[in-house]
Structure 1
Amino acid sequence: MTRLADQDLSRLKIDRGPHAAPPRRRRWLPYVAIAVALAVAAAIAFKVAGPTAVETVTVSSAYPSQNYTLLNATGYVVPQRKAAVASKAQGRLEWLGVLEGSRVKKDEIIARIESRDVGATLAQATAQVKVAQANLELQLAELRDAEVNLRRSEQLLGPKAISVQQYDADLARFKKAQASVSNSRAAIASAQANAQAAQVSVDQTVIRAPFDGVVLIKHANVGDNITPFSSASDTKGAVVTIADMDTLEVEADVAESNIAKIRADQPCLLQLDALPDMRFAGQVSRIVPTVDRSKATVLVKVRFVDRDARVLPDMSAKIAFLSKPLAEQDRKPVVAVQPAAIVTRDDRKVVFVVHDGKAQEKAVTTGERIGELVAVGGVAAGDVLVLAPGDKLRDGARVTAAKK
């Protein structure tokens, strides 16, 4: 048993002799080391050759008028001449000849109210005039006859061919005829006045344009009851609203603390939200001499120097009150960019335009400063430029916009 045990223990000994078998190596370790080294090298190469993160800025359009602007305000376009057209007559609207947007001339007929009742009154008054005129002719004939008899009586009274009583009767008849003629003439005047009043009533059923303008609102339709001086239900007061488009102006509320910067006839530049790419020359028409207590503002009205058919009432507008009148070229936008985007390369002023992930160097020319921007030539509005490019940035370099 002891020998068997010694043999088993001898098997557990490590043979360190020259003929002993070598231990097994970990052959996968070199491959892992090589893979790690390649990965680190690739990361370093990507970092070195990858796109450079840069800040960018967009080329915009600016107006030179910003250099002369003293104050900005907002307001609305309103017509100076505007009228809600109605009639003194009451009745049913039987004809309407205009629609919204229709252009009308002064005294042009735009609507009619039912007029059969006042027409009948006019016909009756006209007939009364004719009756009075006929009575006058009758009385004139009677006057002529009385005058002839009176002259005959005067001739016969001298030789006492007739009595004094007969002469007195012929004289009284003559004076009565004269009175009848005067009465007939007064009756004619009265009948003519009644006829004129009836004609006015008829004329009031015809609604005419008070001035040249454009129909803004149509308040009534054919068949509506027109009652200008009543607030009864199912009735209309005005038929249409007309505005003179040649008198359009802009009204703006200006804070009373800034009113000292505004004066009459001051030049202005007007921009409408409906026409954002256009600037209109304006001029302060008047400053309303009162202050709104609730808002602490003063109403300022600016008239258009330039007129445009696209300008409509109630359009919102921005007003720039200027220190001096603008030349025509100053009312046009120019391309402008932040000065930090312009650098000097080889004695040239250049910018770097970002296109398809690359920075492309482009020479530019600079002009006057417009607020915080500077006018440039050589680029277009909307181009994306590198802001504050460093000395190491070169033409064609790959770039990416830095996250803000």
Structure 2
Amino acid sequence: MTSPRTNEPAGGDPEVLRVVARGKRRRWPWVLLAAVLLTAGGGGFYAWKQKAAAAAEGTKYQSQKVERGDLRVTVTATGTLKARNTVEVGAEITGRVLEVHVNFNDKVTKGQILAEIDTEQYTARVEEATAQLASANASLVNARATANEAKLKLGRAEAMAGQGLTAAQEVETAQANHKRAQAQVSSAGSQVTLAHASLKVAKTNLMKAVIRSPIDGVVLNRAVEPGQTVTSGLQTPVLFVLAADLAELQLNVQVDEADVGAVKEAQDASFTVDAYPQQTFVSKVLAVKNMPTAGTTVVTYEAWLSVDNSKGLLRPGMTATATITTEERKDVLLVSNAALRFNPFRKQQQAQGATVNPFMPMNRRPRPGQQTRPAGSGGPREPALWLSTDAEPRRVKVEVGATDGIRTEVRSEEIGEGTEVVVSMTEAPRG
């Protein structure tokens, strides 16, 4: 048996419907407020999560450890190998070359004949000078005889004048003749001297027709052939180039004016040549010239380096690149130059429109009107390093020493071997 179901009219009780509708209208603002608060809370949470993630990915610092070791400061220069005690042998007279007795790379001794020039005209000049000397000697003998005769006549005239047997005019004439005879003797003597000199020059030129080696050495170059005519003028023509000893060469390098102050005599050096790229030759600085090299746009100074060529591998004229050791530091603290250039405030200045040169000298003063960096910001006044810490890097002042362009010697009580120093930083992307 089923219980009877009661069906409400479609419209329901009007009073009840009014009460229900009134309750629904009262709940709607609260629902809307709750939805707004929920949306704002979700957005804030999302923003907080994004900020936290950005903070977690914030600025990262790359660091390196301070090392202890040796530092070698060097200066690099290029130059050319040359033979030491090089002698250029030329022809001092004009003539046709009859014979050449040596060739390239021949060893020669002092006094050895290198070449001979035709001596025909020089032999004739010697004979001519000899004849002139003989003539001058004869003239001198004649003048002396005349002077002796004039002297005797003067003596007789003076004796007769003393006895009153001759006039005074005769005595005066005898005196004048005697003086003229003496003058002729002097003139004849001068002609003899001149003839002797001419004969000596002629004999010397005859000897110069035979070209001899002035030193013991090696023939580097020969610039003459038999039958060639050489002309001696204001400049002596070079026929041979001799080197005293190729076992000892010399390297002449051009040192830049920025480096010449560090280059001194007796400093150790080494060099390489293109002929032996895998081999390094040792050397020493012999001298540094005070006079700059002329004819170059960049001011350079020539330095001479010794070269041991006992093995005979090197040749004059080779181009060499030399490395001169100007300073050596043993067992010192070393940091990379990037660590000394690092400055965490540089990007802030760049963001403000300032131009920052990472190689700006550390002791440069600000210009009038230029704003200085805040205290502790690692400004350019003093060299400093930034230590890597768990929080922000900490700035430490240091004293700098020698540098090889890559690493620099530093001194500080707060820095030791193994200390982590910042060399660069990266920032997380924004947005």
- Contact map agreement 1:212 1:244 (CA 8 A) in 2: yes
Contact 1:284–1:300 (CA<8 Å) still a contact in 2? no
Deviation of residue 131 (structure 1)? 0.8
The one-letter code sitting in structure 1 at the alignment partner of 2:305 is R
Q: 1:182: Cα distance to partner?
A: 1.6
- Asked whether 1:88 is paired with 2:113, we answer no
Alignment-derived partner of residue 415 in structure 2: none
* CA distance, structure 2, for counterparts of residue 173 and residue 287 of structure 1: 69
Contact 2:217 2:242 in 1 (8 A): yes
* 1:22-55 Cα deviation digits (max 9, x unpaired): xxxxxxxxxxxxxxxxxxxxxxxxxxxxxxxxxx
Structure 2 residue 311 is the aligned partner of structure 1 residue 301: no
The C-alpha deviation readout for 1:300-357, integer Å capped at 9, x for no partner, is: 43322645262431234442322469xxxxxxxxxxxxxxxxxxxxxxxxxxxxxxxx
Query: Counterpart of 1:59?
Result: none
| Equivalence for 1:241 | 241
Conserved in 2, the CA contact under 8 Å of 1:219 and 1:239? yes
Task: Give the aligned CA root-mean-square deviation in angstroms.
Answer: 3.7
Cα distance in 1, alignment partners of residues 251 and 197 from structure 2: 47
Change (3 A) 1:297 1:142: closer
Give yes or no for the alignment of 1:321 onto 2:328: no
Q: Which segment is superposed worse, 129-138 or 118-127?
A: 118-127
Q: CA deviation at 1:240?
A: 1.3
**C-alpha distance in 1, partners of 2:133/2:186?**
15
User: How far did 1:88 drift?
Assistant: 3.2
**Matching of residue 155 in structure 1 with residue 159 in structure 2:** yes
User: Partner residue of 1:58?
Assistant: none
Q: For residues 286-297 of structure 1, what are the structure 2 equivalents within 5 Å?
A: 286-287=288-289, 289-290=291-292, 296=298
Partner of 1:45: none
Aligned partner of 2:287 in structure 1 is 285
Q: Distance between the aligned counterparts of 1:286 and 1:123, measured in 2?
A: 53
TM-score with structure 1 setting the length:
0.53
What is the match of residue 140 of structure 1? 144
Q: 1:161 to 1:213 in 2, by over 3 A?
A: same
- Give the equivalent residue in structure 2 for 1:25: none
Going from structure 1 to structure 2, the CA distance change for 1:212 and 1:297 (only over 3 Å counts) comes to: farther
**Tell me, which stretches of 5 or more residues in structure 1 are unaligned?**
1-65, 326-404
Letter paired with 2:187: N
Matched with 1:183 is 187
Kept in 1: contact 2:146–2:181 (CA 8 A)? yes
Instruction: Identify the residue that residue 13 of structure 1 maps to in structure 2.
Output: none
Q: Name the CA distance, whole Å, in 1 between partners of 2:159 and 2:299.
A: 93
1:120: how far off? 0.9
CA distance in 2, matches of 1:293, 1:145: 73
| Distance in 2, Cα, partners of 1:199 & 1:131 | 18
Q: Matches of 1:294 and 1:188 in 2, distance apart?
A: 56
Question: Which structure 2 segments of 5+ residues have no match?
Answer: 1-69, 329-431
The 10-residue stretch of structure 1 (284-293 or 132-141) with the greater mean CA deviation from structure 2 = 284-293
Q: 1:122 aligns with which of 126, 129, 139?
A: 126
**Alignment coverage as a number of residue pairs:** 256
Q: Is the 8 A contact 2:255 2:303 kept in 1?
A: no
- Take 1:309 and 1:145, find their aligned partners in 2: how far apart are those partners? 80
Please, which moves more after superposition, 265-274 or 286-295?
A: 286-295
User: How far 1:217 sits from its partner (Å)?
Assistant: 0.8
Superposition pairs of residues 3-402 of structure 1, within 5 angstroms: 68=72, 70-105=74-109, 108-229=112-233, 237-245=237-245, 248-254=249-255, 258-259=259-260, 261-271=262-272, 279-287=281-289, 289-290=291-292, 296=298, 298=300, 300-304=302-306, 306=308, 308=310, 310=312, 311-323=314-326
Q: Report the equivalent of 1:354.
A: none
Identity score, percent: 23
Q: In the alignment, what sits opposite 2:398?
A: none
User: Is this contact kept in 2: 1:283–1:305, CA < 8 A?
Assistant: no
1:126 Cα deviation after fit: 1.9
Q: How big is each residue's C-alpha offset from its partner over 1:212-231, in whole Å with a ceiling of 9 and x where there is no partner?
A: 54210111121111135599
